[in-house]
Structure 1
Amino acid sequence: MTDAGRIEGIAATLVTANLDTDQIMPKQFLRGIDKRGLDKGLLWDLRFDAEGRPRPGFVLNQPAFAETRILIAGPNFGCGSSREHAVWGLQQYGIEAVIASSFGEIFYSNAMNNRLLAVMLPQADVQVLMKEADESADPLRVEIDVQSLTVRTPRNTRSFVLSERHRRMFLDGLDMIGASLTYQRAIDAFAKRHWAEQPWLRDVALRTRQRLDKEAHG
């Protein structure tokens, strides 16, 4: 369940460190011209064997985890290539947040720009949550509150840090462009002041091209 500032649901653990974007979304699922259907390829080699049969031991293939909304993952999650499809595939599968001690830098930016919440906790705290999940008789339920920047489980509460920019983007439902446009007045004022002070810089490329075209045909 998700509201403006909270994600709550079943959490599954993926203990593998350095789970890269090639594993999260293999290359054979990048052939389409739109974003649809990427959930089918998510973690393909972990979910299925060489014949395409589901691996029963993999957590997301177990019926109890069919409604997983949160992943508790190993360090350096999302390293590797910059494919944004990894984020889209996670979201299409129903994943709304990933908790890990660290993320690949580009994956983290892609995730936050698409409103897939990437929560960084110290590795010791991640291991505490994984241990609680292992010891729970039922799938662990986790609540992530972006207003208070806390992760809560039945036995634990942990605080995390999020930049104010990313926090506001998540709470207000904005991507990077939308967040930038909240400064539209300041942008317009800067542009007006800039051109007033340095008018000779305005449309330099256009005016140069026009001059060259005139000389070429003159």
Structure 2
Amino acid sequence: MDKFTKLTGIAAPMPLVNIDTDMIIPKVFLKTIKRSGLGVNLFDEMRYDRQGNEIEDFVLNQPQYREAEILVAGDNFGCGSSREHAPWAIKDYGIRCVISTSFADIFFNNCFKNGILPIVVSEEEHALLMKDAEKGSNARITVDLEAQEVTTSDGEVIAFEVDAFKKHCLLNGLDDIGLTMEKSASIDAFEAQASQARPWV
């Protein structure tokens, strides 16, 4: 998993509330178990018409937001089904941080396991960041995980909370497999001892 330390990038404003996982990645694209290739279908039903053409006024289709790495989203982002394909699609598109006033619990935890930093802010802070994101590609927001701060393009600093263990995992690029591999020496020692004690197994 890619490490997340500090990110400075374009933030795309998406104020719509209750964006569920089916809106993030529709069920028709859930046939794969690969984490790559889903970015092209991120927000598919909002992003394309029935002929597959881009809908011009959708935020990620606008020239100033095509390279967005941060998403300032509406309340209750990631609600609905628990599909992990949702953070896969977000990450594959290139978005590494989602900022909202609240997230669905399962989606929130899945983000951390896939190298995405979800940040919860107050309504006032959210309004400030949304307004900053609406400035377009000239307004870049900085997210510093180590310092737990978001800095607007105008230099205003917003502190955020993050679970210490989840922070450690993101800073060091550790998903569940990575965490297990940190214990590989202990696992090998246990298996060697078990093999000697029970050679018939």
8 Å CA contact 1:65, 1:139 repeated in 2? no
In structure 2, what is the equivalent of residue 58 of structure 1?
Answer: 58
Show the 5 A alignment for 1:137-152. 138-152=137-151
CA shift, 1:133, in A, is 2.6
Q: Which amino acid aligns with 1:161?
A: E
Distance (whole Å) between structure 1 residues aligned to residue 33 and residue 161 of structure 2: 36
Give the TM-score taking structure 1 as reference length.
Answer: 0.79
Distance in 1, matches of 2:91 and 2:102, equals 19
The C-alpha deviation readout for 1:174-201, integer Å capped at 9, x for no partner, is 013433554678999xx9xxxxxxxxxx
Distance 1:117 1:100 in 2: 11
Distance 2:7 2:15 in 1: 21
Structure-2 change in CA distance of 1:128 and 1:89 (3 Å): same
Matches within 5 A, 1:1-218: 5-134=5-134, 136=135, 138-155=137-154, 156-179=156-179, 182=182
Separation of aligned partners in 1, 2:175 and 2:3 = 17
Q: CA deviation at 1:31?
A: 1.7
Deviation string, structure 1 residues 150-187 (Cα, Å, up to 9, x no partner): 00112221000001001100111101343355467899
Q: 1:53: how far off?
A: 1.5
Residue type of the alignment partner of 2:143: I
* Count of aligned residue pairs for this structure pair: 194
Q: Which has the larger radius of gyration?
A: 1
Matched residue type, 2:37: G
Question: Which structure's residues are more often helix, by fraction?
Answer: 1
**Residue identity opposite 1:158 in structure 2:** I
Displacement after TM superposition at 1:52 (Å): 1.8
Mark the CA change 1:139 to 1:21 in structure 2 (over 3 Å): closer, same or farther: farther
Calculate the aligned-residue CA RMSD, in Å: 2.8
Task: Give percent identity, aligned residues only.
Answer: 38
Aligned twin of 1:211 = none
Structure 2 gaps, min length 5:
191-197
Q: 1:115 Cα deviation (Å)?
A: 1.0
Q: Distance in 2 between matches of 1:162 and 1:146?
A: 9
Residue 122 to residue 97, structure 1, CA distance change in 2 (3 Å)? same
Partner of 1:197: none
Tell me: CA distance 1:181–1:31, structure 2 relative to 1, closer, same or farther (3 Å).
closer
TM-score by structure 2 length? 0.85
Q: Which amino acid is the alignment partner of residue 5 of structure 2? A: G
| Structure 1: distance between partners of 2:51 and 2:168 | 45
Question: Which amino acid is the alignment partner of residue 89 of structure 1?
Answer: A
| Counterpart residue type for residue 118 of structure 1 | P
Kept in 1: contact 2:10–2:136 (CA 8 A): no
